[in-house]
Structure 1
Amino acid sequence: MADLWIGNVEADVSSEELSEFLGRYGFPPFDAIQYMPGSGERPAVVLTFENVDIEALRMLQPRIHNLYWKNRTIVVQVVPPRRDD
């Protein structure tokens, strides 16, 4: 399992729009989405990929990091693995 954080997206972006956008850049479909309102200026989403290795996301991340999409420059990071301790 791996998570991808995409910051500075429009607050009302739909999961379908995100799926279509990511698919154009070779990303597999995500399994879950969590909207992060933040301070209101730069909302974000966290996408969960259940059957994708974190290294695979790290290879894809540069394709969309700092890309201008929907009138915003998005910031994309692979979320470090969760620790059990």
Structure 2
Amino acid sequence: MTFIQLDYGVWFDQFKPITKPGTDHIAFDTHDDWEFLKTQAPNKIWTLVDCPDSGDAVIVNGCRFVNRLEYYVTEVAHIPDDEYNVE
């Protein structure tokens, strides 16, 4: 496993988040969009998580449940065995 730290702009350009159907937003709701998210490839899902200790929110690869704020789906898949941290 490799830990990969990415700047948001680099992540956006490299993985190409899709827009939520019918909107111009890239964020998917943790509840309302769950049925859509279940149809997506797991290695194309990312989670914005709240980090209470630091007061920051970061995007991590995968579908996380603890401290989740919203999800993203990308055109380009991430490497499932690697750990990404996007700020």
Of Structure 1 and Structure 2, the greater helix share is in: 1
Q: TM-score, normalised by structure 2?
A: 0.29
